[in-house]
Amino acid sequence: MTSATLSARLPDTGLATAPLAARYAGAEPRHALTNPVIDLILSRRSIRHYTAAPLPDGALEAIVAAAQSAASSSNLQAFSIVAVTDPARKARLNALAGDQSHIARAPVLLVWIADLGRLRAIATDNGQPGDGLDYLESVLIGVIDAALAAQSAAIAIESLGLGSCFIGALRNDPVAVAAELGLPAESFAVFGLTVGIPDPAVTTAVKPRLPQQAIVHREVYSSHQADAELSTYNERLRLFQAGQGMRSIDWTRQVADRVGTAAALKGRHRVGTALRRLGLKLA
């Protein structure tokens, strides 16, 4: 099947409307193509409130198939998924991830593993030392493969009427998470993804992003162009915060506080040390 054939099944292509406006809080580009898939992608929100129901039959299989359909560097398929449903294990992982209660409440927590341990085992079985795994590049391959796969999964999840939320806090203590999940050496959890049926009693707004001019550069990078957009975004995000009953704070101040100190990383400044303890060399 060619892409042209696929496109033919998406007849509503036209100019974007409501989802685009919500994503940019009124600072959207004047002319952007759309179709139902793009509307779905633009409408994505992180869902932190779920009903108690398990996933429908066949949902996990579809989500995994979507994940595996993402591109993979040299087809190494350098990731694995641990699907956690046991309440006690979810509670322990929740405690390791800064006690975000939706981890315990979601019916499934998918943990995305950069699985260099599998690659090492395959190399060893084929008489290779696997020295290429000792470099930062191989960690990046595992992380990128896992992230591309997880985002395909997240979009499939939305398309099924389910919701999800990424859990970067699973990197707060990679050694403990690896022990909890029984991971082999050189494999580590990149992030989690809670999945479930969104609680219909809780509405979640689309979070506005930086205007496109702030992040898209033509031919070469232009700091000057991007900087001019930040104060406008601060104002738009303050309006969004007010509408959501959230504390009003400039985005640039949030960023500065979040990356300002090692302490603000909430333990994750030790990720390099932790990965080395898990057997990765990071050369």
| 22-51 binders of a copy of itself (CB under 8 A) | 23-24, 28-29, 31-44, 46-47
Question: Segment 79-138, which members bind a copy of itself (CB under 8 A)?
Answer: 79-86, 89, 113, 115, 117-123, 125-138
Exposure pattern of 125-144 as b/e (b: 16+ CB <10 Å)? eeeeebeebbeeebbebbbb
3-class SS at 172? coil
Taking CB under 8 A as the binding criterion, the range among 98-106, 149-157, 241-249 that sits at the site for a copy of itself is 149-157
Closest by CA to 38, choosing from 162, 150, 164, 159, is 159
Nearest distance in Å: CB 26, a copy of itself: 14
Smallest gap from Cβ 1 to a copy of itself, in A, equals 6
CA dihedral 157, 21, 203, 193 (to 10 degrees): 30
| Residue placing its CB nearer to a copy of itself in the complex, 101 or 222 | 222
Q: Does 52 bind a copy of itself (CB under 8 A)?
A: no
Query: Measured between alpha carbons, how far is 194 from 102 in angstroms, rounded to an integer?
Result: 8
First to last CA, the chain: 42
The contact pattern for a copy of itself, residues 207-236, with x = CB under 8 A and - = no contact, is x-xx-x--xxxxxxxxx--xx--x------
- How many residues at the interface with a copy of itself, by CB under 8 A? 157
- Does residue 57 belong to the site contacting a copy of itself (CB under 8 A)? yes
SS3 223: helix
Provide DSSP, 31-97: --EE-HHHHHHHT------B-SPPPPTTHHHHHHHHHHTS--GGG---EEEEEE--HHHHHHHHHHT
Q: What x/- string results for residues 240 through 259 when contact with a copy of itself is judged by CB under 8 A?
A: -----------xxxxxxxxx
Q: Of 27, 59, 103, 195, which lies in the binding site for a copy of itself, with binding defined by CB under 8 A?
A: 59
Identified binder of a copy of itself from the candidate list 27, 150, 170, 278, rule CB under 8 A: 150
**Residue 133 Cβ vs a copy of itself, minimum distance, rounded to whole Å:** 5
